[in-house]
Amino acid sequence: MAVVAIWGPYVWSVKRGSINTFHNYARKTAYKTEPVEDGRNKPGTHRAAPELTSVTFSVLLARDLGISPEKQITILRDACEAGEPYALIIGNKPQSQNRFLLKSVSEKNAVFGPLAQMHVVLADLELEEYRIEMAKPDASTESSGGGGGGGGGTTEEKETEPAGNEDETPEEPVHVPPVYTGAGGGGNYNQER
């Protein structure tokens, strides 16, 4: 079996009697900018930050290719509705250091047989890079001494905290992107949770 790509519960592969791959692959990487007006000249450019990478492609699911379209489209629908990010690996190469969410599954050109069995369907998939939002501490969190929102405050803030805050319950653990555990042909991602 030749693995073409992997995203969480879904594997695109080619093997004897079955072809499950994709086409119309597109990837968008962009940088967000904002115009800065001074009222006299052309606006300047303020560089804000990189935008999230998006990947789109189409998957032809057909019984003639040795695939059960109904089963495969159900897996994709369920994965989309679960909203769980996974590493996207294409050609044994990770597409980002971050994981990807399956944002949408669009089905079209479905062909059904006489017993209402799906014979062919074209699925357009849209995946978007997933990053954990790093919360900034706000004034109410800092004044309560909790360290709040994932930052924990600065050294100066910790020195001025009232005694007794050591007994507070720790924050929920942050999910870390999977770690690449191999090199070359047998590499994979470790999906620790």
Q: Which residues of 143-174 are buried (b: 16+ CB within 10 A; e: fewer)?
A: eebbbbbeeebeeeeeeeeeeeeeeeeeeeee
- For residue 153, which phi and psi values (nearest 5 degrees)? 85, 180
Question: Residues with Cβ < 8 Å from 178, sequence gap 6 or more?
Answer: 86, 87, 99, 189, 190, 191, 192
What is the structure's pLDDT at 183? 46
What is the structure's pLDDT at 39? 80
Domains belonging to the chain, first-starting first, are 2-132 (2.40.30.200), 134-172 (no CATH)
What is the structure's pLDDT at 140? 54
What is the structure's pLDDT at 35? 86
What is the structure's pLDDT at 53? 92
Which H or E element spans position 75? helix 69-82
What is the structure's pLDDT at 138? 62
What residues in the chain have per-residue pLDDT under 70? 135-193
What's the token pair of residue 183? Answer: 């090199």
